[in-house]
């Protein structure tokens, strides 16, 4: 099955059951599945197609957002199954899969289900910290920190701090972070090795006065995520 994914049309990928495959997928195949569900966009070269104004003020030619994928149960289940392949044998039924609110929620649930262990998310507070108040982690239980996308590592560190603060005893963490996508450029964070399905390099971008897409005639627009949300799922 693996050899056919990259030759399939996006619509075919969306209509194919990869959830129950026993095959481990490559990073290229993971990227292709994410793209087919709208999680990765790259400018086509068509001047009629706009491109994003980044928060830095630069212009971008690529846009990556796993929240588009998280809307659909099938691709989340596929990615969780693939992550579970990397962790089976390490995580016990009594252990926890925990991630930060809100982006990681569906991935934490599906990964916990795939591993057959407990799962929960910390709660985002007004000061942007992450709080742990609903459950107790026992001394015999371990915590696997999980993120949908690791960019700076700040969210996972806030999650760790919230879990420690919310439990009276000493919490044991796995020396791992299960990051579905790693955009950080790092191999580890705070002593936790990052296990990722996909590593993403920094997207191509330009200073406004040097933007190749503007020279092409493409219009730059702010709030590019809203633009993508208004579009249909990709076709090829």
Where residue 108 sits, what CATH number does that domain have? Answer: 3.40.50.2020
209: in domain: no
Q: Please report the pLDDT score of residue 203 as a whole number.
A: 78
**Six-digit token pair at 59?**
């212009």
Is 69's pLDDT higher than 60? yes
**Six-digit token pair at 184?**
């950080």
* 75-99: average pLDDT: 95
104: in domain: yes
- Cis peptide bond N-terminal to 102, omega within 30: yes
- pLDDT tens profile 110-162: 999 999 999 999 999 999 999 999 999 999 999 999 999 998 899 999 999 99
- pLDDT tier at 108, thresholds 50, 70, 90: very high
Is 1's pLDDT higher than 50? no
- Could you give phi then psi for residue 224, rounded to 5 degrees? -65, -30
129: in domain: yes
105: in domain: yes
216: in domain: no
165: in domain: yes
- pLDDT tens profile 4-57: 899 999 999 999 888 888 889 999 999 999 999 999 999 999 999 999 999 889
28: in domain: yes
- The domain in which residue 25 lies consists of 2-37+62-202
Number of structural domains, the chain? 1
Q: Quick one: three-class SS letters along the chain? A: CHHHHCCCCHHHHHCCCCCCCCCCCCHHHHHHHHHHCCCEEECCCCCCCCEEECCCCCEECEEECCHHHHCCHHHHHHHHHHHHHHHCCCCCCCCEEEECCCCCHHHHHHHHHHHCCEEEECEECCCCCEECCCCCCCCCCEEEEEEEEECCCHHHHHHHHHHHHCCCCCCEEEEEEEEEEECCCCCEECCEEEEEEEECCCCCEECHHHCHHHHHCCCEECCHHHHHHCCCCCCC
- pLDDT tens profile 169-211: 899 999 999 999 999 989 999 999 999 999 988 778 999 999 9
- pLDDT tier at 3, thresholds 50, 70, 90: low
What residues have CB less than 8 Å from 154, skipping those under 6 apart? Answer: none
15: in domain: yes
Instruction: Return the percentage of the chain with pLDDT > 70, whole number.
Output: 99
């Amino acid at each position: 099955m693996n050899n056919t994914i990259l030759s399939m049309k996006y619509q075919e990928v969306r209509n194919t059951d990869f959830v129950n495959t026993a095959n481990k997928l490559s990073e290229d195949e993971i990227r292709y599945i994410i793209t087919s569900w709208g999680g990765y966009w790259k400018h086509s070269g068509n001047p009629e197609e706009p491109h994003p104004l980044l928060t830095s003020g630069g212009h971008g030619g690529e846009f990556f957002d796993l929240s588009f994928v998280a809307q659909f149960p099938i691709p989340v289940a596929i990615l969780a199954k693939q992550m579970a392949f990397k962790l089976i044998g390490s995580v016990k039924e009594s252990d926890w899969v925990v991630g930060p609110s809100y982006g990681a929620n569906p991935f934490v649930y599906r990964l916990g289900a795939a591993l057959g262990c407990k799962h929960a998310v910390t709660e985002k507070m007004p000061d942007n910290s992450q709080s742990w108040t609903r459950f107790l982690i026992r001394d015999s239980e371990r915590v696997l920190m999980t993120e949908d996308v690791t960019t700076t590592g700040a969210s996972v560190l806030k999650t760790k701090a919230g879990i420690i603060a919310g439990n009276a005893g000493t919490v044991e963490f796995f020396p791992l972070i299960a990051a579905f996508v790693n955009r950080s450029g790092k191999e580890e964070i705070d002593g936790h090795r990052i296990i990722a399905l996909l590593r993403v390099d920094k997207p191509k971008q330009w200073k406004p006065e040097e933007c190749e897409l503007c020279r092409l005639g493409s219009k730059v627009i702010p709030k590019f995520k809203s633009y993508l949300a208004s579009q249909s799922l990709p076709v090829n």
